[in-house]
Amino acid sequence: MNDFLQLVNARQSDRAYDKSRLVEADKLERILEAGRLAPSACNAQPWRFVVVTDPSLAEKVGKAAAGLGMNKFAKDAPVHIIVVEESANITSRLGGKLKGKHFPLIDIGIVAAHMVLAAESEGLGSCILGWFDEKEIKSLTGIPSSKRVLLDILIGYPVKEKRKKIRKESGKIISYNSY
């Protein structure tokens, strides 16, 4: 368990990548496998990953992810894993209706966590983006206009040092047996 907590503590949202250093195919395959194996409500697996590795296309997708300049660093990421929401199975959809929850959003959050932790374990940096030009990314990658792009997960070799995590104290976010 200590190894896992060390991995979680080491993982950060990297915002600077070595553009000239490509991500090895075997590392990328393990990251994608971690996502593929992620749990989902009723095993719906309501996702599809469009993996952008072509340097020219990755830069264009990164520019589409710049989002009013907030994510300018995205153009330097050598890999973009575009997470597309797919239809959930009938059990997940019915359960979601009964409970007033859209389980695919939860499931895709779990997938993203699996992939960025896998990236960290491979010695790579990552950043999960939700702010981007969805229409442009669809156009660049051939994603049908009827689909929803939920995330762009950047993967690459970070160029900045690790920073200290600042998190709320556990007593402010954890309680036992009552709120």
Q: What would the pLDDT profile of 166-179 be if each residue is shown by its tens digit?
A: 999 999 999 999 99
Domain-located, residue 81 = yes
Where is 81: in which H helix or E strand?
strand 79-85
pLDDT of res. 1: 65
Residue 112 within any structural domain of the chain: yes
Q: With 90 as the cut, is the pLDDT of residue 68 above it?
A: no
Residue whose tokens read 């009938």: 90
Tell me the pLDDT tens digit for each residue of 82-114: 999 999 999 999 999 999 999 999 999 999 999
151 in a domain, yes or no? yes
The DSSP bridge partners found for residue 139 are none
Q: What does the pLDDT look like over 112-146, one tens digit per residue?
A: 999 999 999 999 999 999 999 999 999 999 999 99
Residues 6+ apart with CB under 8 A from 118: 30, 31, 33, 34, 35
> pLDDT class for 160, splitting at 50, 70, 90?
confident
pLDDT digit string, tens, across residues 11-47: 999 999 998 999 999 999 999 999 999 999 999 999 9
In the chain, what are the helix, strand and coil shares in percent, each to the nearest 5?
45, 15, 40
pTM listed for this prediction? 0.95
Does any domain span residue 82?
yes
- Domain span at 133: 18-157
What CATH number does the domain containing 61 carry?
3.40.109.10
6 found inside a domain: no
Number of domains in the chain: 1
